[in-house]
Amino acid sequence: MALRFNNLSILVAEDNKAMLSLIRAVLNTLEFQDIHTAADGEDAWRIFQSQKPDIVLTDWEMENMTGIELIRKIRRDPASPNRMIPVVILTGYALPERILEARDAGVTEFLVKPFMAKELANRLAHVINKPRDFIETDTFIGPDRRRRETPGYTPERRQKRDIKKLDPDKDVWHVGEEEK
């Protein structure tokens, strides 16, 4: 059975009109019905707050606010309506430093431009079908950075003084010193 995106809303932050048109065409092919677009990070932040999409797709390099700044704002700003939203970042730079910076900012998936429609569809399907636990520490907020499964590992195995579950109904954890 094919994954259906028609019930999901997505925010696309992309300043290049040709790339935005291409992305929109791919999303239409994937049957997204609710597509919001922004030409820069500040506009994306306003739309994110008002429309509360299910997924964010953002370019890295944009005026006013970069994609990385947008991700950090989504993850850390108290006014964020959904700090755990899946975020896919698009960039023309596949340097290891860039990948690490995006990961450390709290990105869910990384996609290098130019990309094929199938690659974008795969990233979107991955964030829906295989969501990672959400982690919050003093220095990081975002999806668990570990991509491979470690048999027998669960966050509960950490020392009790180092970890607490923030939300008993969700897989949201805080790692750090216990409050006194």
Are 86 and 22 part of one and the same domain? Answer: yes
Q: What is the pLDDT of residues 70-86, one digit of tens each?
A: 999 999 999 999 999 99
- Put simply, whether the predicted model's pTM sits higher than 0.85 gets the answer no
Q: What pLDDT does residue 71 have?
A: 97
Q: What is the pLDDT of residues 138-175, one digit of tens each?
A: 888 888 876 555 566 555 554 444 445 455 555 555 55
Are 58 and 140 part of one and the same domain? Answer: no
Q: What is the pLDDT of residues 2-16, one digit of tens each?
A: 667 889 999 999 999
Q: What residues make up the domain containing 76?
A: 9-131
Are 114 and 160 part of one and the same domain? Answer: no
Cβ neighbours for 79, distance < 8 A, ≥ 6 positions apart: 49
* Cis amide bond preceding 81, omega within 30: no
Q: List, edge to edge, every strand of the sheet that includes 109-112.
A: 34-38, 9-13, 55-59, 87-91, 109-112
Are 121 and 155 part of one and the same domain? Answer: no
Are 66 and 116 part of one and the same domain? Answer: yes
Q: Taking a C-beta distance cutoff of 8 angstroms, is the pair 50, 58 a contact?
A: no
